[in-house]
Amino acid sequence: MTKVKAWLNAARLRTLPLSISGILVGTAMAAYHGVTNVSIFILAILTTIGLQVTSNFANDYGDGVKGTDGDDRVGPKRALQSGLLTAAQLKSGIYISIVINAILIVALIITSFGLQDILYPVLFLLLGAFAIWAAIKYTVGKSAYGYNGLGDIFVFIFFGLVSVLGSMFLYLKAISFMTVLPAVSIGLLSVGVLNLNNMRDIKSDAAVGKNTMVVKMGLPKAKKYHYTLLIISFLCLFCFLLTTNGSQIRYVCLAGYLLVFIHLRKVASTNNEAELDPELKKLALSTFFIALLFFISYYYFL
């Protein structure tokens, strides 16, 4: 395998559609309120992709040096685990991606707020720094929060609340209270993807002391937790759609939940953790599909 393919492997391109789902929803909400900006949209997409790639590099490195990714791992082979990249190379990749993220964050802030009002730029710089920290500390270091069952909370905050409400604020300089509902919906779907990943890895994680929520709860309760996350996500988005004025086409995004509910039936009937691996891609793409339909309906039709 070439070095380019090795780095693409470490970047885990299949995780990127999920990472931009919140940006699509936040941008659609801004458009619904009459504000669009292509430059902000492109920079926001690039920034969230950059943060996700940093997180993936750090996750590969952190789990690799801790020995979490062993030969018994069910999912795709990691770059460090399989020897495609060394720990030093991955560490350098993390540093480079941090620099790129910082540049993108500054460019996004200047494009959105300019340099006249210092308050919002400073707040978003701090938020950007926190996002970079969170991307790295999920698995890296002795106090990695992913090893203490806190990954779900951080995913909900950054993939849901920050992604949707933060991107909306970049356009409007304000937040609509009801937009919290789709932000919660995307956040819960994203937590569902993480929970599914942790259900798949429950045995290998428990063996090395990675105490995810799933390891703490056990698989039966983790499944019930999974059902709860996705059903509440549906209810939040449905309630939001009911409160929105406009064409009935706005309900088209709910079609994506048909795939989610089919996924739930599969999870309910599966007792072999390895069989959950294909469901990861399905749930992540279903979330992206919901966000994309939401974006199209609100951006172009309402």
Residue 75: per-residue pLDDT: 60
Question: 82: which 2 tokens?
Answer: 């399989």
Residue type, 17: P
Torsion of CA 131, 185, 285, 19, to 10 degrees: -10
Query: Looking at residue 77, what is its pLDDT?
Result: 67
* pLDDT at residue 71, as a whole number: 56
pLDDT at 300: 86
pTM: 0.94
Residue 60's pLDDT is 87
pLDDT for 74 equals: 63
Low-confidence ranges of the chain (pLDDT < 50): none
CB atoms within 10 A of CB 44: 26
108 φ, ψ to 5°?
Answer: -65, -45
Q: What's residue 110's pLDDT?
A: 96
Chain centre to alpha carbon of residue 42: 17
Closest to 61 (Cα-Cα) out of 115, 105, 98: 98
Contact 214, 197 (CB under 8 A): no
